[in-house]
Structure 1
Amino acid sequence: MSNLTVIQTSPDPEQQVPGQRARPSIADRIGGIGQNRLSALLLVLATLVAIVWANVAQDSYSSFWETHLTLGVGNDLELDFTLHALVNDALMAIFFFTVGLEVRREFAIGELTSWSRAVVPVVTAIAGLAVPAALYVLLTSGTDYSGAWGIVISTDTAFLVGALALIGPRASGRLRVFLLALAVVDDVGALSIIALVYTEDFNPLPLVIAAVGLLGVYLTRYLNSGRGPVYATLAIIVWLAFLASGVHPTLAGVAIALLVPVYRPTRRDVDHALDLARTFRQSPNSEYARAAANSLRESISINERLQSAYSPYVAFVILPLFALANAGVLLDAEILAAAARSPITWGIVVGLVAGKFVGIFGASAFMKTFRLGDFGAGLTLDRIAGGAALCGIGFTISLFIVELAIDDPAVQNEARVGVLSGSVLAFVIATVIFRVSDRIRPPGESARRLARPIDPERDHIFGALDAPFTIVEYGDFQCGFCLKASGSIQEVHRELGDRLRYVWRHAPLTRYHPNALAAAEASEAAARQGKFFEFERSLFADQEHQLPVDIIRRAEELGLDVEQFEADLTSPEVTARVQDDMLDAEAMDITAVPTLFVNGRLHVGPYDAQSLIRELMETAPSADARRSEG
C-alpha cells in the first residue's frame, strides 16, 4: 500500500495525502469549537437586543432590571436584590467560578504547569494588562475617572475563543493554546485588581466565616460520598460572607474554584471502571449500574466534572443574560456626541485596541527576537499579531468593572460606548490581519518543510546525532501504515547504519484510533526511564492490544519501574509533550499518517526502503549545512 496513487484514492484516513483537508485537523480534534462559536453569537445577539431595547423602550429596560426580588426567612434574615444585581452579583459568581476552575486546571495539569512553557503567555499577558492601563490613565488624567483603568485590562475569554473560531487563520491550534493560556493569566490579573482596587466598605469579620467555609471546601474532597450537597452548602455560605464583607461576591466563586481538586484519570481507575462495566453487562441490575457509573464518574476530577456541568449554562444562559442586563447603552445623537468628546470613551477605545495590541504583540516580538521562551511551530508573529488584536475584545469583565468603577450614569454610558466600540474595532482589525496573513502564505507551503528543527534535548532520536541523513516520522502507534513505514525505515538503517538518524514525533488520529493518544503518552512515560524505542517496538508489535491494562503489562515486561511509570502517565509534562507534537503536526497541515520528512523536506511518494534511500541521497545537505542545523 505504499503507492501514492492508491494512497490518494483510498477513503481510509490513514492513506490520504498529507495536507489534504478532507476532515478536521488534529488541532481541531484537540478542542471542539462549536460551543464557542454559538456562545459568541449569543453574546452578540444579546448585546444587540439590549441596545435596541434600551433605545426603543428606555423606561421598560431600566424598570425591568431594577425590579426587586426579596429572599429571606421572617423579617430578620432577608436579602433584597434587583434583577440587575442578581445577574451581576449572583449569576456572575458562577461565571467567575468556571473561570477559577479553568485557572486551577491550567496551573495544575495544563499549559501553565512548567515555567519554561508558561513564560511566553505569562509575560505577554502582564504586558497586555499594563500597557492598556497606562494608556487609559494617560488619556484620562485630570478627570475624575482616571482610576477606572481596570475597564481596559481584561480580555473577554468567551468572545476571544468564539471569535477565533469564526475568523481565525488556517492551522490555528498553536495560536489557540497560546491565547487560552494568556487569557487565564489575564483573568487572574483582572480578578486580583477587582478584589484589591474596586472593593469598598470593607468589613473583615465576615471574611473569617468565609475562610472557615473555604477550609471546609478544601476538606470536602476527603468525604467518601455526598460531596455535591456539601460543596453547594459551603459555596452559599462563602458567597454570603463575601457579600457581607464588602468584597465583591463574585470573587467567592474564584476562591471556591481554586480549592476544587483537579487531576488526570489514572489507568487503574479506568481499568476498575471497565471491570465494573463488564460485571454490569454480565449481570444487569441497578446495584452494578450505580457502581459502574460512580466508578467512571470518580475517575474524572471534580474540577473537570464541574466544568462540563456548568460551562453550557455559563455559555448559553449566564453570559447572554449579563450582556442583556449590562449592554443597554443609549445611542442617541446627544450621547454619541458626548462620547465622541469624552476622554473616558477614547481612553477605553485606545486602551483596548492599541494597548492590548502593543502590549501583547510587543512583548511577543521582543521575546521571539531574543529567543526567550518556547513559541512552538506555527506561532509566528503574524499569527500573534491577529491574536493580540483579538485580545482587545474586553466585553464581559470590562462592562462589569464599569459598574464598579463609575457611579455617574452618564459617564457609564460613555464608558459602555467605549467598550462596545473598542471591542468591535478589535474584532475588525483582527479579521483583517488574519485574512492578510492567510493570503500571503502560499497554500501548502507549511506542509513542505519540517516546521520545528530537530532538538537532541527534546526529540526521540535513533542513530548518531550528527548523521548526514535524517528521517522524521509523524505517526500513530495504532496505524497499520505506520507499522509498514517503521519496517521500511529499519531496512534503511540496516543499509546506511550510523549515517542515518531517525526521529519519531506523535500525530495520533484520535478520531479513528481511540487508544492512540494513550499509547503516545505511555511511550513518553517510558521515555522518562530511557526506553522510548523499546516501548515503541512493543506497541507496534501488538497494535490490537493498547488498553490501559496492556500498557501496564508492557511496562512490566520491559522492566520499567511501574509505580513511577503510572505516575508519569498522569503528569502534565507527558501530556504537554504529546500535545506539542500534535500542534506541530497541525501547523504543518498534517492530517494523515505516516507523514515522513526526509532531510527536512516532506516525502511524497512510496515509502519503501529503496525509495527512501534514493531521496535521502538526492536531498542530503552539505557538511556545512549539517553543522549549521545541528
Structure 2
Amino acid sequence: MLRAFLRTEAGSTSVLLAATVLALLWANSPWGDTYEAFWHTPMGISFADASFSLDLRHWVNDGLMTVFFFLIGLEVSYEVRLGQLRDRRLIAVPAIAALGGMLVPAGVYLLFNFGGPGAGGWGVPIATDTAFVLGVLAVVGARCPDPLRAFLLTLAIVDDVLAIMIIALFYTAGVSFPALFAAAALLAAIVTLRWLKIWRAPAYIVLGFALWVATLQSGIHPTLVGIALGVLVFVYAPSDHKLLLAGEAVQEFTSEPSAQAAREAARRVQRAVSVNERLQLRLQPWSAFVIVPVFALANAGVRLDGETLRAALTSPVAIGVALGLLVGKFVGISLGTWLPLRFGWGVLPGNLVWGQLLGGAAVSGIGFTVALFIVDLAFKDPVIHDQAKIGILAGSLMSAVLGWVIFRLAWDRGGVCAPPEAEPEEELPELLSEPVGPEDRVRGPENAKVTIVEYGDFECPYCGRLHPVLEELRRKYPKDVRLVFRHFPLRTLHPRAAPAAIVSEAAADEGRFWEMHDILYDNQRFLTDADLEHYAAELAVQPWTNVPEHVARIARDEESGRESGVRGTPTLFLNGRRHQGPLDLNTLSRAVEELRAPS
C-alpha cells in the first residue's frame, strides 16, 4: 500500500509542477488581472432562504484539499495498524524530527521579522509539502530507499497534523462555539456509526459533509476534518475466513462462468480488503492528478516582474520564509533526528545512513500546500502576501536542489551501510584479523582457491543487492570460490538485523544456516518477530532456543569484524585481504580471476 501511494504521488509531480508553472504564467501574462478575478468568483448552493457560498479559491483550499488530507488520514491509519508504523519505536524519531523541523524554521523566520508587520507569518515556513517531497524522491530514485520514504512520509504526516493544529490555534480569527459544538456532535455520530459497525456509505457522506460545513462555520480550518475522518476509517488485515470465501467464489466463477457468479466473486474479493485500502485506491488518482494540481493552479500565481523581485530580495518576509525552509528545515530535522537516536528514544525504520537522512532533511524544506494556506490566513496586505509566496517558491526550489546534491554525494560514496555515529576517518586494516575456521558459516568447497568473507547484516539493502552477485560468483566458479558469512548487525540502523541473525544461528543448529540466510535476504522488508517465526517454521527450526549461545556467537563475529576494521556492511575480504573496489559482478569476477590465476 505504501509503495502504491508513493508511485501515485510521484507520478503526479510533473502534473503538479506544470500546474504551478501555468499559474505563474497566467499571473504574469497580459491577462494577469483575470487570475485573481477568476479565483474570486463566488459559487454556492441555496435552498429556500438558506444559502452557502464561497469563492472558487476557498472551494479549492477548504473543500477539495480536505480530500487530500483525508487520504493522509487514511495512510496514517493504515501504516499505524498494519504498515511500517505498527512498531511504535519507529514513530518517535520522525515525530521529533518533524517538531524540530517546525520550531527551527519558525525561529529563523522571526529572526528577520520579530516585531515587524510580517511577524504573524512565522507559521509559513513550518510546513513540508508531501506531494512535492515524494516527487523529488522519485527523481532521486535508487539513492532513496523505501525506509527513507517511509520515514519522510511519517515526518510529513506529523508535520501536516501539527501545522493544521497551529492553524486552528493561531490563525483562527474567531471561533463560533455553536458551530464548533455542532461539529463535535457530528464527529461523535460518525464515531458511533463506526462503533456500531454500520458501513452505509450515504450516511457517512451526509454526516461528513455536514461536519465539514460546521467546522468551516466554526472558524477552524476544515482540512482538519479530512485527517480526522481518514483516521477513523476502518482498516484490517484480510482474515483467513474472508480469503477462503473469496477463493471459493473465484473458483466457482472459473468452473461455471456467469454474470451472477462474477458479481458474487467480485463482492467477496472486495470485502476481503478493508474500506481504508479501497478508498485509497479510488481516491489517490483524483488527489494526485486533479485536486493537488488544481490547488497549485489556484494559489501559486504571483507577479514576478522586476519591481516585485527587487522588493522580495530585500523583504524580511521573503527572506525569512526562504531561509526558514532552506536552513531552518534542514537544521531542525537533522537535530530532531539526531537527538532521539542519541538518547535512545526511538529507532529508524532501517537501511538508512546519515547522507540519506540529511538529503531527506533538505528536501523536506519544500513547502507549498499548507504554507500557501497560512499565507492567505496570515497576511491581508497583498504586497506582503506576494512576497511570502515568492519566499515559498525560492526556498522550495533551493531545498530541492540541496537535497538532490546531498543524495548524489551520499550515493557516490559507495554502496555501504554505516551507522550514523560511526564514520571515522582512520586507516583501516587491510588484513582479516580472524582466519576462517571450523566455527564459520561456509558455503562452497573446502579447497577453493578463493575464499570470500562477508561481514553482513540481514536488513542492510546493500547486502541484499550483493547476495545475488555472490551467488552468481559461486555458479560461475563452482570449484574455485567459497563464501563465508559473518554477522555484523548495525543495530542503530537496522533494528531487525540482530533478531534475524539469531534466527539464522538457530537454523545453523539444525544444519540449515544457508537456507535461512537465503530466505532472510529474499524477504528483507519483512523481518518482524512474526515473520521470523514463520520462516523458522518453514525450516522446522526453533527460533528462540539457545539465544544466549547465539548472541555470543554473533558477538564473536562482530568483534572479529571490528578488529578487521569493518565499519559498515557489506565488507568483503578476498583471501584474507580487504576488497576496496565496487561490489558489482564484473569487478568481483576480475578480482576472483586474479586470485585464481597461477602465481
Aligned to 1:166: 139
1:537 is matched with which residue: 518, 536, 539? 539
- Matched residue type, 1:65: W
Distance 1:506 1:150 in 2: 48
For the pair 1:66 / 2:40, whether they are aligned, the reply is: yes
* Deviation of 1:384 (Å): 0.9
Listed as ranges, the gaps of 5+ residues in structure 1 are: 1-27, 452-465, 511-515, 540-557, 559-586, 590-594, 606-630
Q: Does the C-alpha gap of structure 1 residues 171 and 208 become closer, same or farther in structure 2, counting only changes over 3 Å?
A: closer
Q: Which has the higher contact order (CA 8 A, sep 6+)?
A: 1
Structure 1 residues 75-224: aligned runs within 5 Å = 76-168=49-141, 170=143, 172-221=145-194
**Residues 469 and 499, structure 1, Cα contact 8 Å, conserved in 2:** no
- Does the residue aligned with 1:258 lie in a helix, a strand or coil? helix
Q: Does the C-alpha gap of structure 1 residues 159 and 346 become closer, same or farther in structure 2, counting only changes over 3 Å?
A: same
**Residues 137 and 147, structure 1, Cα contact 8 Å, conserved in 2:** no
* Deviation of 1:281 (Å): 2.6
2:440 is matched with which residue: 460, 469, 492? 469
Distance 2:72 2:584 in 1: 45
Q: Does the C-alpha gap of structure 1 residues 505 and 109 become closer, same or farther in structure 2, counting only changes over 3 Å?
A: farther
Aligned to 1:582: none
Distance 2:77 2:60 in 1: 24
Q: Does the C-alpha gap of structure 1 residues 468 and 538 become closer, same or farther in structure 2, counting only changes over 3 Å?
A: closer
* Deviation of 1:371 (Å): 5.5
- Matched residue type, 1:232: I
* Deviation of 1:367 (Å): 4.3
Distance 1:29 1:99 in 2: 11
**Residues 365 and 381, structure 1, Cα contact 8 Å, conserved in 2:** no
Aligned to 2:319: 346
Listed as ranges, the gaps of 5+ residues in structure 2 are: 423-436, 443-455, 459-463, 485-503, 543-567, 586-599
Aligned to 1:16: none
Aligned to 1:294: 267
**Residues 144 and 356, structure 2, Cα contact 8 Å, conserved in 1:** no
Distance 1:368 1:81 in 2: 47
**Residues 168 and 434, structure 1, Cα contact 8 Å, conserved in 2:** no
Distance 2:249 2:405 in 1: 54
Q: Does the C-alpha gap of structure 1 residues 242 and 33 become closer, same or farther in structure 2, counting only changes over 3 Å?
A: closer
Distance 1:436 1:527 in 2: 35
Distance 2:312 2:370 in 1: 20
Distance 2:520 2:203 in 1: 42
Distance 2:168 2:256 in 1: 55
Count the aligned residue pairs: 489
Q: Does the C-alpha gap of structure 1 residues 164 and 538 become closer, same or farther in structure 2, counting only changes over 3 Å?
A: same
Structure 1 residues 462-611: aligned runs within 5 Å = 468-470=439-441, 504=517, 524-525=529-530, 533=536, 535-537=537-539
* Deviation of 1:60 (Å): 1.3
Q: Does the C-alpha gap of structure 1 residues 505 and 349 become closer, same or farther in structure 2, counting only changes over 3 Å?
A: farther
- Does the residue aligned with 2:46 lie in a helix, a strand or coil? strand
Distance 2:356 2:75 in 1: 24
**Residues 160 and 370, structure 2, Cα contact 8 Å, conserved in 1:** no
* Deviation of 1:35 (Å): 2.7
Distance 2:237 2:113 in 1: 47
- Matched residue type, 1:230: A
Distance 1:204 1:152 in 2: 30
- Does the residue aligned with 1:78 lie in a helix, a strand or coil? strand
The two structures have a TM-score, normalised by structure 2, of 0.72
- Matched residue type, 1:425: M
Aligned to 2:359: 386
Distance 1:32 1:68 in 2: 34
For the pair 1:239 / 2:244, whether they are aligned, the reply is: no
- Matched residue type, 1:525: A
Structure 1 residues 271-290: aligned runs within 5 Å = 271-290=244-263
* Deviation of 1:468 (Å): 4.2
* Deviation of 1:114 (Å): 3.0
